[in-house]
Structures are given as C-alpha cells and as structure tokens.
C-alpha cells in the first residue's frame, strides 16, 4: 500500500496543545483529520494516541497517510527529460521553481509532455527524490500563465497540497510580481479593486465587470519609468485568471508584450515576472521567502524596446 509518513518533532509553541488543535492549525482538512483518526494513523513517540492527546516537550508526532485519504493521490505526468527547470528552493515537501516565459504549467492531453510538470517528473526520478517516505512526484499547487515567467510552488506529495491550497485561499502565501507597462503613472502606488469576470465576446479572455465577475484586488508600486514605459511591483490579494493583466489594461496601462490585452510591441515575451513568493512551510516549518534571478529576457531598463 502507498503510504506517506511524517515524523514531526513537536515545536515549542505546540506543547500543551492537543493533536486536534495542531492539525487544525496546520490546515489539515476535516475529512483527512477524520481519516487519520478512524484509521489510527496518529502516534506520538511510537504509541497510538487519540486526537485529544496533549503534546509534551520532546514529543515526536507520526502521521501516516494513504492514497484513499486524498481526492487526487496519484501524479501521472509522463517524465520528459529534454529540459530542466531551475529549482530555487527545495525541501522534502515542495520545490519552488523558476518557470521560463513560454513554458506551459501542465498538460491538457494524455500524450502532451512539453510542460513544467513533465520536466519535474523526470527531474525527481533522475535524482531519486523521496518525500514522506515515498518517491517524490510533482503535484500542482498554483499556476501562472504560459507567457509569464517566475516563481511557482510545486508539491512533491499529495499530503501538502490541500494545506498549501488553504494557505492560498487564506492569503498566507504572498506573491510579488514585476511588470513593464505601457505609459507613465503619475502616482507612486495604488490599488485596483474592480471585479473580474469572463469576457462575453471571447471566453478565453477576462474583463472587469465581466460575466460572473468575482472580487479582485491588486496592489501596485511604481519603481521607475524608462522610455515611456513603467516598471511596477505588484501584489495580489486574490488570484483571478489574468488578474494583473486585466486590471492593468483596464486603467490604460497594459503589460508590454501582452498579446491578449495590450497593443503589439516589438518584444519577444510578455513583460510579467513572478519575482518573489513567500510560503509558510507545512507542519511548522517556518515561513520562507524565495526569489529567483531576473531572467535574461526581462530587461531591467527595457532598453530593447
């Protein structure tokens, strides 16, 4: 049987807390907490305990998860070793990779292998990576557009996927982007809050106040202006499809090179880069802020335009 096993030294802040309260704090979903309890897959210092057990100093908690605990337990991306994706952070549970602009995140057909997750499947296999006692496999946590470059979190087992998903929803994972936009902005900072929905004329696109519009919030800060283009730093409070692209286009400053929402520009890519990601590591692993180097095709001064 496939079984992912964690041996977790109990952190000081958990001493005096019950197992149940700790699993809640770690954002373990109720369904999975129930499975751990019913299957008696919770032990402390080698002895099975109920979820009412109160942690003491020096305790080591062991959790065992099997495939039935997860809605998506298998990762079946075909390995493709033709390309490598730079890894900018890695531990037993996740990798943060630097996705190049133009690379798809995941396949849309069973025979498609030219994607980031296919490349990571090959990389994990070639390096014999292990995660929670099992061979590591790539599991998608979030995505960025094909045209966007930068930091992306990928899980190495199914256990941490729902935890990271909850962190996304709760805004505990923070993402910072850089974008070159057309035109100059007079203010030094601002916030865009118009809802985003489906463009009724093109279902591939999104627009402010479109169909089934959802709340969206994007913060921006001006870094500098060069040749009538402005470099912005942006942070998301929500994660709507094409959010940054739609918001910036809606205020008259589309991203340079954005073929969907902006004018034609003599550049080789869309100038949007996921520069930094801050993620609380699962099971009290602390918060890690990860930044990769700027790609060579993302100019610091935009002098190529």
First-to-final CA distance of the chain: 57
DSSP letter assigned to residue 3: E
Distance CA 168, CA 171 (A): 5
Q: Phi-psi region for residue 140, left (φ > 0), alpha (ψ -120 to 50) or beta?
A: beta
144 CB neighbour count, 10 Å cutoff: 21
The pairing of strands 189-192 and 174-182 is unpaired
239 CB neighbour count, 10 Å cutoff: 14
Distance CA 28, CA 24 (A): 6
Distance CA 239, CA 137 (A): 25
* 244 neighbors 255 (Cβ within 8 angstroms): yes
**Looking at 69, 93, 123, 145, which residue is catalytic?**
145
Phi, psi of 246 (to 5 degrees): -70, -45
DSSP percent split of the chain into helix, strand, coil, nearest 5: 15, 35, 50
Residue 145 designated active-site: yes
Task: Please state, in angstroms and as integers, the Cα–Cα distance from residue 165 to each residue in 59, 139, 176, 246, following that order.
Answer: 28, 12, 18, 24
Contacts (Cβ under 8 Å, ≥6 apart) of 103: 85, 115, 116, 146
When computed from its CA atoms, the radius of gyration of the chain, rounded to whole angstroms, is 22
H-state helical runs in 18-170: 19-25, 30-38, 116-126, 160-169
Active site (catalytic) residues: 145
């Amino acid at each position: 049987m496939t079984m992912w096993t964690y041996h977790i030294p109990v952190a000081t802040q958990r001493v005096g807390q019950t197992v149940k309260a700790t699993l809640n704090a770690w954002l373990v979903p109720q369904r999975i907490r129930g499975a751990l309890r019913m299957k008696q897959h919770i032990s402390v210092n080698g002895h099975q305990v109920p979820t009412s057990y109160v942690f003491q100093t020096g305790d080591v908690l062991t959790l065992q998860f099997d495939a039935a605990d997860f809605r998506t337990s298998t990762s079946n991306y075909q390995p493709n070793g033709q390309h490598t994706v730079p890894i900018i952070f890695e531990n037993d549970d996740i990798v943060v990779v630097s996705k190049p602009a133009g690379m798809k995140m995941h396949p849309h057909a069973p025979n498609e292998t030219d994607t980031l997750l296919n490349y990571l499947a090959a990389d994990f296999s070639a390096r014999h990576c292990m995660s929670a006692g099992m061979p590591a496999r790539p599991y998608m946590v979030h995505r960025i557009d094909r045209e966007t470059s930068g930091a992306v979190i990928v899980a190495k087992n199914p256990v941490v996927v729902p935890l990271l998903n909850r962190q996304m929803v709760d805004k505990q994972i923070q993402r910072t982007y850089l974008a070159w936009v057309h035109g100059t902005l007079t203010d030094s900072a601002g916030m865009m809050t118009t809802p985003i929905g489906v463009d009724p004329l093109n279902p591939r696109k999104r627009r402010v106040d479109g169909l089934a519009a959802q709340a969206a919030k994007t913060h921006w800060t001006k870094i500098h202006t060069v040749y009538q283009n402005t470099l912005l730093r942006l942070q998301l409070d929500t994660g709507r499809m094409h959010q940054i692209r739609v918001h910036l286009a809606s205020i008259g400053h589309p991203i340079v090179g954005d073929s969907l929402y902006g004018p034609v520009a003599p550049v080789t890519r869309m100038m949007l880069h996921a520069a930094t990601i801050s993620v609380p590591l699962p099971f009290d692993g602390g918060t890690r802020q990860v930044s990769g180097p700027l790609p060579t095709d993302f100019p610091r001064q935009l002098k190529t335009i």
